[in-house]
Amino acid sequence: MSVSTLCILIICGLCTNVMSALFGIGGGVLMVPVLRTLFPQIPLQMVAATSLSIVICTSVINLFYFSRQHIKIDIKRVIFWSMGMILGVQLGFELSFMIPEWLITGVFIVTISFLALKILFSVTNAEKDKDKPDLLQGTRYCTFGGFIAGMTGLGGGSIMAPLVGQLSSVKHYQIAIYTNWMMVLSGVGTLYSYMSKSVIVPQEMLGSWQVGYVNITVVLLVVASSFVMSFFSMKIRSLLTAKRSNKILGYMLLGIAFYMLALEYFL
């Protein structure tokens, strides 16, 4: 890898941690287009696997900091929503090997665009009903989000954060905690599946550490820089209001969707 590539990956690690801590998205929505740009010849499944590995590691780092803030969440909801996400991820993972890459990219773009617009035009409700029975509704949302994540390598957070944010029982400051937990619990099984498959290492990845579809060298580099940023991410998190956070997330997702559209179909 060139020096410029290494620098870009380090910057991605910093940005990934900020996105995960502030918005509850694991960074897959950033890593997928970046990896596709840096390594255009590698299979999309390798992009997805490496992205998912980074997402899981970043989520573990953030959960450590969240635990020190003593923010309460409903463990029952975490378990049920994670189970739904696991089911969706496995279905999406298997499907990703059966359909063309242009269609997977199309699903990525459409999903991200829809969620970005939904966030931008939604009204933040600060007075949510924490006792409303939305356990099954949340499980359906997470199954759908997991399906898209397993197919595209998004990691689920970029889909789950806006979906979970629509549930009446979840307050704004809880979203990141719920989604980080779900990304860890639901991603491990899929990650094992990626790592257990054999793959021919592309020329541009020779000399790096590869396990199945996961490039460990890229993962370690991005996660190391993510860890360095984690303390500052939590400080920034405390300064953002719910409304401003939603606006930033919405415009960011929309920008990534347009970038992927241009990268895949016009450049």
Domain extents in the chain: 3-265
Global pTM exceeds 0.85:
no
Residue-level pLDDT, tens digit, the chain, 267 residues: 678 888 888 888 888 888 777 776 666 677 878 888 888 878 877 888 888 888 888 888 888 888 888 888 888 898 998 898 888 878 887 888 888 878 888 887 888 888 788 778 875 544 455 556 688 888 888 888 888 877 776 656 677 777 887 788 888 788 888 888 888 887 777 788 888 887 777 666 667 788 888 888 889 998 898 888 887 887 887 787 777 877 887 888 888 788 878 877 776
Transcribe 27-61 into DSSP letters: SHHHHHHHHHHH-TTS-HHHHHHHHHHHHHHHHHH
Contact 163, 142 (CB under 8 A): yes
pLDDT reported for residue 204: 65
Question: Beta partners for 214?
Answer: 211
The CA–CA distances, whole Å, from 205 to 54, 216, 217 equal 17, 11, 10
Token look-up 């940005």 returns 15
Q: How many residues does the chain have?
A: 267
Question: In 3D, which of 145, 158, 140, 138 has the Cα closest to residue 55?
Answer: 158
In 138-187, where do the E strands start and end? none
